[in-house]
Structure 1
């Protein structure tokens, strides 16, 4: 038996353009506790980036560097690092699995070229795995799958494959089989090379021993390789001809065909292993290099000129004009640390960029490549790279940075709406003075975290994605900023909408020195179907109107919708049409028209029978079979509706919808009903009409 290191087989020659074909920008995505961070720690160890494996359960994982992550044993923020596997450079981002931090997955998938989806061989496809898979589908991100925890009792990779097909509507292609040997229970068989892979426990799996397939598994391997060849034949006619004629197909040809199917998101290679047992990670690294795209293979982006609206295709070329997206912001000792994905062009330390989203210029102070929270300073970075920048002042998540002489605006990010809020109050006078600045910095980092002041009580209201999200925010205020705050009970963030259409004409006058500012608008408000959000329609710019007046009116109307009309909650599912803006030169003013628009919308909405919508949450619960009745009873008490129950490995998986108002503190209740063995995930499903008692409490009945 030969002893050797696992080595990838390059699929094509290196290009002259900064070796872009050897870069892999990948993310690790999955349900919470499927093993993302454990896999990432092994990747760093086997690539030589670290010299000791950190374990999540010990709070020593390199990628989980925040105290809140180490204490809870979960990933909270997406963390980037860079490492080398043979001639390939991997820019890797480890993402959270908890639904409260889903924006971290969203912005990661927006800028990455490929992803590794990790599934548990015991639990299979879990609820958050479905969510992150849908996010990857939305951005067209090619994926490979790694079925982890093959060492666990009850592991069933075939059941996980069936769930990938059924629940994710995907086509998994198995490229490995488990090695069934008592002395090597955690090895795998490579179906393409026809070799067994055993991971030496004496050096923590660093050495991969390749050998022959055990005779007792030869028939199983032949059958599995035929299925793999059949899948590859869909992407290579010569393989199809050989398959039909019964001729053997070489491994390199199979990999090329599987790569084409993977890049098209039409099939997903599946590997097996146990990261905690140091098994299967090197073949996973090989698969990343074989099957996932380089920046040259990624889908081309399109942008538009912010001035002319002309469309442009962005080509991955270091010599092209700069196009980059700011996908993450961190607070670094009061300064902004901006994560950039560079799509084309080159950035240099000290260079000046144009922010096409905010129409301002930014200067690069220092440039870094990140390794979790450690930084490696660099002088320049090229197309296809992911780096961080210090020195920007106005850039936010989702902004486009580009060449000042060739501006272009790229598509930003989809940010989910926060649904849970708490009131906070500083404990001391010094805390009161420093709190607004600290909250502003936390808002830089997290676009799903919002802060506003309640007009009725004067309290500061923090709004986020869930109880854990807000708990982490409050904890960070204490640890990072030394601020002590008192918090109120979490409460629901409702929405307002209208029962009927209304047309309204409003005049407005501001008396000032010299002359008054006047304005007039005519509006029509029309309710829209649930989930439509707010749509605005403005008339064309009339002759004599000042340039930019319609844009100014649109901004005023959007602000008015955010403020609501009766309860202070935002308006939604509404069409706002500006039918007319009478303009009288010398009398009308922009400030007057803005005032008329805001007040007109408020009064019109109040006359159109406003009512409240409450968030309805989609729950996925995993509970022991004997506790199923008790758990269903708890949901019925909260006006929940069970929509499906499925058995899975001795447990029951419930899908239900429940109003958010009844879900605060539910984890404690679920643990009591299941003797600590139940778990659930929850995400916003939709907004529905709130019950009569809620409407009455807010004075809407």
Structure 2
């Protein structure tokens, strides 16, 4: 028996869960197929899924055919839960991609295709709803070949000569076979599919059970089990909790064998962990069996692991890169009469399950903020808070989740030396390409700072969300590198380096905002401040053009915490952007193009659809401008237009000055993310303003101007 792990992916309402039910019924796993609209689908095990008629969580089912055991993972189709789908994709051997014959390729459909391409997952397509009026196999196949890949081939009858010729044209080996024998053998077709050189397409209606037998036969014929290593490896794709509150780590074994009671380990440095896999469960729907071991190619849930996370690799497997999809909205929790701490603990458990739900506690505001994908996800969280934790909460209006980065490298210095404490850390902040997220490194000799202190500082890099100094938004696309540091044999404690590290990062961001230190490494305050010692707001983006001031004025301003720089300097405010595809009737194209330009968007030259009735605009625009535009399109086209949006990453904010002014954020007043250092004199600690730190620090600047740790080494 060959073992295949496959996932079913689709845009919402394409019939993905209906196809899953049809496959389970046709292979004898169900006596009667369930229906999403009836609330009795086998794989929609959660009460919210049954009530809403949508898939929210990825659930497995086991299917047996004559010679194949298929682990089928039914993934969410709604864009708000696409992060769950992205994590599941990494665990798949093959993907079944469901396309609606009536709707064709939609915005989220293209996002899913890009994810399958990124993770190199062999893909077989099923065009559903062929029983609907107007459904045409030739039309949809042409669309798939034009928008996805010209190797999308109709496999309804692969024995036909014209189909075999189309298959042969996809590789030289296949063409040689075809010219020699008039056909391409099955083994070659399997290899082409596995290498993503060929994408078989099947047509039918899952609801009417049409084309299902042909699809099952084709899937079993043209798939092959991956070759697994003898060494143990596994990929974690999901975290959940069962009805008893047990934490479940869902994983696919990719090498060797996993035994119950085995000690597993992961993480690194201070974040390293070593825990026992207490129980191994193999699920099919809501039911499971407990087993003593599972071989490679098996999907299972493991209890006893408390520090795992989706995307983590075990054994020889490497942890996943940053996901393509990221939250773009932020909401404030309104706890009502509930205890705020209890709400925070509940949300932390939900955050553990969903990496794209970010829960942030703002101590200064005494508020809980949630960062997530969209309004539907927020409704689900609200329902889960009620059902699982008995907490009835509400949320404030949603806002755009901005982020901040830098454009030039800068060395930040943090010094923490109250009485009987001591730590100094120098951190290099370097800009990374867009979409890189945060990276962490050390370039400090162990002769200067012991390894245990360096490991501690690296863990402090990662343990919190560091905020920028423009609006107080999270920083991203920055590498933090420890350059040097100093500890005291007697007085340094672990918490001292936490304080020094945090302050070094913030001090570096403040220097980036004000400008870059001169060639001697000194921060020339006189070139950046002017005034008479009172509170000052210097409203200019060109800090260096302010000019000099007398020394007394500078010293006085140094004691004024409200003095701040209003320009961006080498800091940048980022905002999320959408990639969109807008279809409107030809006579409304001018209105659409004008709207996109008004929203500060960009678009390619307009295209016409196959019939010439509609115009198509492809482009990008800020989420802040386009998030409600779908309703406008529906209104001015009288329901004939269609807008599809997918996340296109973070880019420089198109109206940064306005957003910064509205935020009115003073980084020097944010005591939870202080920009200043603490030194000691005459037996007492005293604060030193961020721009005066270079005058008082004990270590010299360590950055030599090279652009990366690799170059410096």
TM-score after normalising by structure 1? 0.78
Cα deviation, residue 164, structure 1: 2.8
**CA deviation map 1:360-395 (0-9, x unaligned):** 343344332222223234343222111122333333
Structure 1 runs, 4 residues or longer, greater than 6 Å off: none
Conserved? CA contact 1:346–1:382, under 8 Å: yes
Q: 2:573 is matched with which residue?
A: 612
Q: Give yes or no for the alignment of 1:227 onto 2:166.
A: yes
Alpha-carbon distance between aligned partners in 2 of 1:459 and 1:450, rounded to the nearest angstrom: 14
Q: Give yes or no for the alignment of 1:421 onto 2:347.
A: no
Q: Give yes or no for the alignment of 1:322 onto 2:232.
A: yes
| Closer/same/farther in 2, CA of residues 460 and 356 from structure 1, 3 Å limit | same
Alpha-carbon distance between aligned partners in 1 of 2:413 and 2:21, rounded to the nearest angstrom: 63
| Closer/same/farther in 2, CA of residues 605 and 354 from structure 1, 3 Å limit | same
Counterpart secondary structure, 1:338: strand
Conserved? CA contact 2:279–2:303, under 8 Å: yes
Counterpart secondary structure, 2:234: strand
Q: Which of 662, 668, 682 is the matching residue for 1:697?
A: 662
Alpha-carbon distance between aligned partners in 2 of 1:41 and 1:626, rounded to the nearest angstrom: 43
| Closer/same/farther in 2, CA of residues 263 and 666 from structure 1, 3 Å limit | same
**CA deviation map 1:118-176 (0-9, x unaligned):** 22333333222222122122222111222222222332323333333332235122222
| Closer/same/farther in 2, CA of residues 379 and 171 from structure 1, 3 Å limit | same
> 1:156-171 counterparts in 2 under 5 A?
156-171=136-151
Q: Give yes or no for the alignment of 1:517 onto 2:497.
A: no
**CA deviation map 1:40-84 (0-9, x unaligned):** 110011011111122223333222233333344332222211111
Cα deviation, residue 602, structure 1: 0.7
Conserved? CA contact 1:561–1:572, under 8 Å: no
Alpha-carbon distance between aligned partners in 1 of 2:409 and 2:257, rounded to the nearest angstrom: 52
Counterpart secondary structure, 1:510: coil
Cα deviation, residue 231, structure 1: 5.0
Q: Which of 529, 542, 548 is the matching residue for 2:452?
A: 548
Alpha-carbon distance between aligned partners in 1 of 2:9 and 2:388, rounded to the nearest angstrom: 28
Aligned residues: 600
Query: Please, what is the CA RMSD of the aligned residues?
Result: 3.0
Conserved? CA contact 1:560–1:602, under 8 Å: no
Q: 1:446 is matched with which residue?
A: 354
The 10-residue stretch of structure 1 (354-363 or 461-470) with the greater mean CA deviation from structure 2? 354-363
Alpha-carbon distance between aligned partners in 1 of 2:223 and 2:498, rounded to the nearest angstrom: 51
Structure 1, unmatched stretches of 5+, are: 1-18, 177-189, 193-220, 244-248, 297-314, 403-407
| Closer/same/farther in 2, CA of residues 321 and 470 from structure 1, 3 Å limit | same
Alpha-carbon distance between aligned partners in 2 of 1:439 and 1:632, rounded to the nearest angstrom: 42
Q: 2:246 is matched with which residue?
A: 335
Q: Which of 664, 682, 685 is the matching residue for 2:648?
A: 685
| Closer/same/farther in 2, CA of residues 576 and 383 from structure 1, 3 Å limit | closer
Conserved? CA contact 1:563–1:569, under 8 Å: yes
Q: Which of 110, 120, 128 is the matching residue for 1:140?
A: 120
Conserved? CA contact 2:581–2:617, under 8 Å: yes
Counterpart secondary structure, 2:90: helix
Alpha-carbon distance between aligned partners in 2 of 1:342 and 1:504, rounded to the nearest angstrom: 43
Alpha-carbon distance between aligned partners in 2 of 1:269 and 1:507, rounded to the nearest angstrom: 62
| Closer/same/farther in 2, CA of residues 70 and 413 from structure 1, 3 Å limit | farther
Q: 1:90 is matched with which residue?
A: 70
Alpha-carbon distance between aligned partners in 1 of 2:487 and 2:477, rounded to the nearest angstrom: 30
Q: 2:368 is matched with which residue?
A: 460
Conserved? CA contact 1:235–1:260, under 8 Å: no
Conserved? CA contact 1:521–1:593, under 8 Å: yes
Alpha-carbon distance between aligned partners in 1 of 2:100 and 2:409, rounded to the nearest angstrom: 51
TM-score after normalising by structure 2? 0.77
Counterpart secondary structure, 2:197: coil
Cα deviation, residue 117, structure 1: 1.6
Cα deviation, residue 693, structure 1: 1.3
**CA deviation map 1:160-216 (0-9, x unaligned):** 33333332235122222xxxxxxxxxxxxx232xxxxxxxxxxxxxxxxxxxxxxxx
Q: Give yes or no for the alignment of 1:262 onto 2:164.
A: no
The 10-residue stretch of structure 1 (638-647 or 684-693) with the greater mean CA deviation from structure 2? 638-647
Q: Give yes or no for the alignment of 1:287 onto 2:218.
A: yes
Alpha-carbon distance between aligned partners in 1 of 2:396 and 2:454, rounded to the nearest angstrom: 41
Q: 1:307 is matched with which residue?
A: none
Conserved? CA contact 1:233–1:239, under 8 Å: no
| Closer/same/farther in 2, CA of residues 167 and 568 from structure 1, 3 Å limit | same
Alpha-carbon distance between aligned partners in 2 of 1:95 and 1:498, rounded to the nearest angstrom: 37
Q: Give yes or no for the alignment of 1:488 onto 2:396.
A: yes
Conserved? CA contact 1:645–1:654, under 8 Å: yes
Cα deviation, residue 520, structure 1: 2.4
Alpha-carbon distance between aligned partners in 2 of 1:686 and 1:398, rounded to the nearest angstrom: 20
Alpha-carbon distance between aligned partners in 2 of 1:510 and 1:409, rounded to the nearest angstrom: 44
Counterpart secondary structure, 1:607: helix
